[in-house]
Amino acid sequence: MPDPSLFEVFPTPSDAPFVIEHIAEEFTSVCPVTGHPDFGVITLRYMPKPGSTGGVCIELKSLKLYYHSFRNEGIYFEAVTNTIRDDLVKAMDPQWLQIETNWKGRGGIRSVIRADHGDVPRHFLGR
Amino acid sequence: MPDPSLFEVFPTPSDAPFVIEHIAEEFTSVCPVTGHPDFGVITLRYMPKPGSTGGVCIELKSLKLYYHSFRNEGIYFEAVTNTIRDDLVKAMDPQWLQIETNWKGRGGIRSVIRADHGDVPRHFLGR
Amino acid sequence: MPDPSLFEVFPTPSDAPFVIEHIAEEFTSVCPVTGHPDFGVITLRYMPKPGSTGGVCIELKSLKLYYHSFRNEGIYFEAVTNTIRDDLVKAMDPQWLQIETNWKGRGGIRSVIRADHGDVPRHFLGR
Amino acid sequence: MPDPSLFEVFPTPSDAPFVIEHIAEEFTSVCPVTGHPDFGVITLRYMPKPGSTGGVCIELKSLKLYYHSFRNEGIYFEAVTNTIRDDLVKAMDPQWLQIETNWKGRGGIRSVIRADHGDVPRHFLGR
Amino acid sequence: MPDPSLFEVFPTPSDAPFVIEHIAEEFTSVCPVTGHPDFGVITLRYMPKPGSTGGVCIELKSLKLYYHSFRNEGIYFEAVTNTIRDDLVKAMDPQWLQIETNWKGRGGIRSVIRADHGDVPRHFLGR
Amino acid sequence: MPDPSLFEVFPTPSDAPFVIEHIAEEFTSVCPVTGHPDFGVITLRYMPKPGSTGGVCIELKSLKLYYHSFRNEGIYFEAVTNTIRDDLVKAMDPQWLQIETNWKGRGGIRSVIRADHGDVPRHFLGR
Amino acid sequence: MPDPSLFEVFPTPSDAPFVIEHIAEEFTSVCPVTGHPDFGVITLRYMPKPGSTGGVCIELKSLKLYYHSFRNEGIYFEAVTNTIRDDLVKAMDPQWLQIETNWKGRGGIRSVIRADHGDVPRHFLGR
Amino acid sequence: MPDPSLFEVFPTPSDAPFVIEHIAEEFTSVCPVTGHPDFGVITLRYMPKPGSTGGVCIELKSLKLYYHSFRNEGIYFEAVTNTIRDDLVKAMDPQWLQIETNWKGRGGIRSVIRADHGDVPRHFLGR
Amino acid sequence: MPDPSLFEVFPTPSDAPFVIEHIAEEFTSVCPVTGHPDFGVITLRYMPKPGSTGGVCIELKSLKLYYHSFRNEGIYFEAVTNTIRDDLVKAMDPQWLQIETNWKGRGGIRSVIRADHGDVPRHFLGR
Amino acid sequence: MPDPSLFEVFPTPSDAPFVIEHIAEEFTSVCPVTGHPDFGVITLRYMPKPGSTGGVCIELKSLKLYYHSFRNEGIYFEAVTNTIRDDLVKAMDPQWLQIETNWKGRGGIRSVIRADHGDVPRHFLGR
């Protein structure tokens, strides 16, 4: 089961603007209807709050273990995307955060889902 | 015949902003003039209305079956694009929706057609 | 000789916003100085006027034949680009139209020329 | 030695907006310190002034010969970029002009330098 | 140890706007936890202050040697990114500067970190 | 229904060795179990018998129409491949013939099937 | 647990030479040491015995379910490769069979393992 | 009309083995049935006879002009391939010669035709 | 210093033919002349002796640590390649083994070096 | 002028079989007819004689300087290829040597020339 208690964070090491992107290319969960595995790429992009105001970053290994906790979970693409965004926003309270999930095709259709928290920083528009 | 009665929808699972993209790489219809098959990629992008205001999303398998219903239909590129947009807007009443159809070449010319409903969300400009 | 009388048009099949792109990858004309053949890709992008206001679209086969009419014409890259734009604007009176010609290299330099008519639609900027 | 007297120009063939891009993929000069050859791609992008106001375009072959005149010149990347921009601005007095030089790696670092004259046209932002 | 005393600078050779990008594809440092090597690509983009106001550029070879000084340093991705930005801002006092570090995957997750100093120039948005 | 009566042939225009490859990128048939469409690329490679011994080549448009005759046929990948090989061998009696069918993925598995008639010509080994 | 009882076969539909390739791009198992997931692409290539001699082919969906049975199995790369080869050889008794497993990188090293049963057919050498 | 009198040759500059490949990416002729233009890439590969035995090579510019002479010729793909091979064999009497013509798609099928004269040199097999 | 005592091996898990390829994309050593870092990709390919005859395979993590032991070693490309081959042949006594080292460019020249031990297996020729 | 006196060699560091490939991507010479620069990629592949029999390898920097000595030389593609082969064979007396020169297009035709000395080693066929 998705387990946000796995998250560990550390203080933002700077007060200057800072965008971090973690691309997990080996995510898998299970389709709740057919029981067949789903495979996707999960991209996390976020701008932490400045360190001096208590901002934090996600520790990379804890993020990996959290993703692994979806492995045998029966869950829809949309719910994966929203769950990850909500769990990470709770864990980090970032200035901006975006989850993009990119799923391998099923029946000839492949899907990309993007959920935001906060405003896209000006110099990230169009990327 | 294109059959919008095939559509099934489900309530938007979140109230936070949310963009969904379904890329169908195996679409085929028939040229109304020559009777020869046309092949294209149909990309649907949309932002549903929030769940708490009655917003809905399209169910993926029903979308696939709807696309299949064009298989032996004699219909122009432009009409395919407009028909899909109109049928989906009626079925979902989304905040924003875009259909991009990308057709294999005929006689050395290949075509891309893009039809919008509503304003492109600010953080999707330039993509 | 470039022959705009070849153009055929049909009424825009919708009043909703609509962008059409036709990419002709097999264009050839002749260099007026050396007599050697030039090869290029001609991309036409346009937004027709709405159907209810008399807007029209270009018929695809007539566009192809018009392009063929340049085959043995001695004409510069810049003149090809402007001629096609002007002939198509006259034939369709579109809301926006853009011709991009992309030429194979000559003497180690390859060229791209882009001519606009009207304002680029807001959601096409940056593409 | 870089020789701007090689430039030839011709009147802009139109008054409508018009962007021209010449990509020279086979540029070479010499490093002033080591004497070793440098190799790069020089991209010129510009919007000429309208023909009716005396605007001119650069003749392609003369541009090629001008580039060849750098072949045995000992000159830094930054100076190549500025020199070409300044020489072309002088020769054409364009509405907008941009030189982008893209250099093959030296010691594991490759460089791109971009120098502008005038404002980037609105529909070229983000490209 | 990262050694900013290695930096050498030279006066900006022009007063016109000017963006420089140095892409170092062979950066390596050491993970402070596991002691295993990390590999990444470091992209520096900056706009120097005009030469007439005392603006300077970074000398390319000194940049390379500075990067080499990280080779056996145990240091996190985020700290590499911030350290390079801060050291270069101190050395050059540029109008705008951006460091993008792009790291090879570890445990199936690869990371990109981007730190800015000053506002992204208007014609660089969306790139 | 697959209809080999559509084939037209013409005499091999030479007696010298000669290999012909026709790549049809837009083939579609129907899965006999699920009724869902299958999409594939069909590559025909053959060496005709010399013209002076009565050898023939397949006429390209008749090949296209023959492929179209599979459009609404419920038929397995293996049967498509064998049927096309057998029908073409009957129509042309070539020296060597090979059919390679390359199918879009279903359930995460994509398939390639290759059926030969006669020996691969020596200078085609390894291609 | 890997479960070869899931396999279903069907008679080879032809006596002519015939090579089949099934590429499963979404395979996952678990590292027996660390418990972390492994991800790979499994390619099966085989030439069945002729139908008239009792030759059989593997049914595609049963192959997929067999692959799924590795999902939570702790097993090394080499053992995955050998197990799949041995199980399939037992189920089909083919003329030739090859398993190629291609694994995503771990600690900066990615691996490809290839196990054969029988001689590679002459016209497959070098592919 | 294809005009082999355009060919010029020069003595092979060496007696050691020697393979030459000229790839013409901008070939065009006309379909004899529809009158529409055909576009293809013509690759010539040959091994000349040694210079000391009177062997000759084709002069590059004369080859280009010969190719241009097909521009308005109504001629099939197969005939183009055979004609070029036969004309070049006559002009050069080489040890080995191969013409590969690679045609842009027509009606969803693209074609490659390969005609040989003499045996492929041993170290060219499989390329 | 390159340290072959780091190697660990395990018995070949099968007697059937078996080829293993480990591609290490993040190798670095130091140029013995300039002291600058070198970066390369090291590909190991081998066929172990059968398990029943005492054949062994290299343990993946021990291979990684062995590669790390070159990090601060001043050593030429050729010596890296030969040293790795010789150390691995000693550790495994394989049927066939090949080391291919692929080095990033220096001064505009990049290098690939390939050293073999034993005969390339027949079905690996041409790959 | 091409200057083989620049070559330096060193003894082959091993007696086991050994293939070395140096790919120089930034070669330039001058067309003897037009005086325009030519640009190409020069690939040297060779197998030195074993060290114990007096075999030698080419020193990389000396190879680079030798290539630079062609910079302002008016010389044909064929002569470049043969000259480099002959000069290197003289300097190294290798078991096998191959020069492949790959030239940027001129007038729409690009060329590849390959000259061998000695027999291609068996395990290099088809590469």
Tell me what the mean pLDDT of segment H87-107 comes to. Answer: 94
Average pLDDT over residues H95-119: 92
Nearest by CB to C120, which of D20, D23, D123?
D123
Q: What is the pLDDT of residue H38?
A: 96
Question: Nearest C-alpha of chain B: how many angstroms from A47?
Answer: 15
Question: Residues I112, J46: contact at Cβ < 8 Å?
Answer: no
E96 at interface of I, judged by CB pairs closer than 8 A: no
Asked if the C-beta of D22 comes within 8 angstroms of chain E's C-beta atoms, the answer is no
Chain F residues in contact with B36 by the CB 8 A cut-off are 68
Flag whether residue H36 sits within 8 Å of chain B, measured between CB atoms: yes
- Closest to C60 (Cβ–Cβ): which among B109, B115, B117? B109
Is the confidence metric ipTM above 0.85 for this complex?
yes
Question: What's the pLDDT band for H15 if we cut at 50, 70, 90?
Answer: confident
**How close, in Å, is residue C68 to chain B by CA atoms?**
11
B39 and chain H in contact, CB less than 8 A: yes
**Any CB–CB contact under 8 A between J108 and chain H?**
yes
Looking at residue E126, its pLDDT comes to: 44
Residue D4 CB neighbour total at 10 angstroms: 15
* C71 in reach of chain J (CB within 8 A): no
In A38-58, which positions are buried (b, 16+ CB within 10 angstroms) versus exposed (e)? Answer: bbbebbbbbbbbbbeeebbbb
- Tell me what pLDDT residue I80 has: 95
Give pLDDT, residue B85.
96
- Lowest mean pLDDT segment, chosen from A69-78, D49-58, E53-62, E118-127: E118-127
Q: Which bin fits J126, alpha (ψ -120 to 50), beta or left (φ > 0)?
A: left
Q: For G37, which of A26, A36, A104 is closest by C-beta distance?
A: A26
Handedness of CA E71, E75, E78, E79 (dihedral sign): negative
Across B115-124, D94-103, G8-17, H111-120, least confident range: B115-124
For residue F60, give the H/E element and its range. Answer: helix F60-68
D13, pLDDT greater than 90 = no
Do strands D18-30 and B109-117 pair parallel, antiparallel, or not at all (unpaired)? Answer: unpaired
Nearest beta carbon to residue B123 from set A76, A111, A125: A125
* Predicted confidence (pLDDT) at residue C127 exceeds the cutoff of 50: no
> Two tokens at F7?
């084939």
Chain F residues whose CB is inside 8 A of the H105 CB are 25
Task: Give contacts of G60 with chain F, Cβ < 8 Å.
Answer: 106-107, 109, 111
Structural tokens at position B28: 């085929």
Q: Which residues of E are catalytic?
A: 31, 38
Residue with tokens 């962007």: D19
Could you tell me the pLDDT band of residue I127, with boundaries at 50, 70 and 90?
Answer: very low
pLDDT at G37: 95
Q: Do G105 and E105 touch (CB under 8 A)?
A: yes
Alpha-carbon separation of residue F35 from F47, H16, J9 (angstroms): 36, 62, 69
If you average pLDDT over residues H25-29, what whole number do you get? 96
- Name the nearest CA neighbour of C102 among C124, C86, C80, C83: C80
- C-alpha–C-alpha distance, residues E79 and E86, integer Å: 10
Asked if J37 lies within 8 A of D25 by C-beta distance, the reply is no
Q: How confident is the model at residue D16 (pLDDT cuts 50, 70, 90)?
A: confident
Percent pLDDT > 70 in chain E is 95
Which residue of H25, H27, H28 is the best one to mutate when testing the C interface, meaning the one whose CB has the most C CBs within 10 A?
A: H28
For an interface test with I, the pick among G19, G47, G78 (most I C-beta atoms closer than 10 Å) comes out as: G78
Q: Cβ of C68 and H37 within 8 Å?
A: yes
Q: Is a pLDDT exceeding 60 seen at residue D89? A: yes
pLDDT at site D123:
62
- From the list C28, C61, J95, the residue with the least C-alpha distance to H104 is C28
Mean of per-residue pLDDT scores for chain F: 92
pLDDT at J107: 78
Q: By the 8 A CB rule, do G18 and G36 touch?
A: no
The yes-or-no verdict on residue I68 having pLDDT over 50 is yes
pLDDT above 60 (res J126) = no
**Geometric angle at alpha carbon I87, from J20 and G109, rounded to 5°:** 75
Contacting residues of J for D72, CB less than 8 Å apart: 72
CA J51 to chain centre: 21
Grouping H, G, I as helix, E, B as strand and the rest as coil, residue G100 is: strand
Minimum-distance CB partner of I26 among E25, E72, E104: E104
Q: What is the pLDDT of residue G127?
A: 45
The pLDDT score that the predictor gives to residue E120 is 78
- Residue I127 with chain G: CB contacts under 8 Å: 126
Residues forming beta bridges with residue I115, ordered by sequence position = I99, J18
Closest Cα in chain E to A12: E78
Q: Report which of residues F56 and A125 the model is more confident about.
A: F56
Amino acid identity for residue C9 in this structure: V
Q: Which residues of chain F have pLDDT under 70?
A: 122-127
Is A65 an interface residue toward G (CB < 8 Å)? no
CB contact under 8 A, D16 and C110: no
Over range D7-23, report the average pLDDT: 91
Residues 6+ apart with CB under 8 A from D46: D19, D20, D58, D88, D92, D94, D95, D96, D97, D98
F2: closest CA among F23, F36, F28?
A: F28
Q: Output the pLDDT for position I47.
A: 95
Q: Tell me what pLDDT residue F80 has.
A: 95
Which chain C residues touch B120 with a CB distance below 8 Å?
122-123
Give G-chain residues touching A72 at CB under 8 angstroms: 72
pLDDT digits (tens, 9 = 90+) for J49-94: 998 999 999 999 999 999 999 999 999 999 999 999 999 999 999 9
Instruction: Report the pLDDT value the prediction gives residue I122, as an integer from 0 to 100.
Output: 67
Residue A126 is predicted with a pLDDT of: 44
Angle at H20 between CA H16 and CA H24, to 5 degrees: 170
Indicate yes or no: CB of G113 within 8 angstroms of CB of I21: yes
**Of residues G89, G93, G70, G78, the one with CA closest to residue G24:** G70
- Do residues C100 and C127 touch, judged by C-beta distance below 8 A? no
And the tokens for I34?
């300039």
Encode pLDDT of G16-73 as tens digits. 888 999 999 999 999 998 899 999 999 999 999 998 999 999 999 999 999 999 999 9
Q: Which residues does chain J have within 8 Å of residue D36's beta carbon, measured at their own beta carbons?
A: 68
The average confidence (pLDDT) of chain G is 91
Residue H13, pLDDT > 80, answer yes
pLDDT of residue E127 exceeding 60: no
CA neighbor of I102 nearest in space, from F110, J23, E115, D99: J23
pTM: 0.93
Burial label, J38 (beta-carbon count in 10 A; 0-12, 13-18, 19+): buried
Instruction: Give D57's pLDDT tier (boundaries 50, 70, 90).
Output: very high
Beta strand pairing status for D56-58 and B109-117? Answer: unpaired
pLDDT, tens digit (0-9, with 9 covering 90-100), for B71-86: 999 999 999 999 999 9
CB-based contact (8 Å) between E74 and chain I?
no
Residue of C29, C39, C103, C106 to mutate for J, most J C-beta atoms under 10 A: C106
D71 contacts J25? CB cut-off 8 A: no
In the beta sheet, which residues pair with residue H112? F21, H102
Residue I15: strand, helix, or coil: coil
pLDDT at A127: 44
What is the phi/psi pair of residue B58, to 5°?
-85, 140
State whether G68 and A28 contact (CB < 8 Å).
Answer: no
Q: For residue F32, what are the CA distances in angstroms to E48, E88, G10, G11?
A: 66, 65, 15, 17
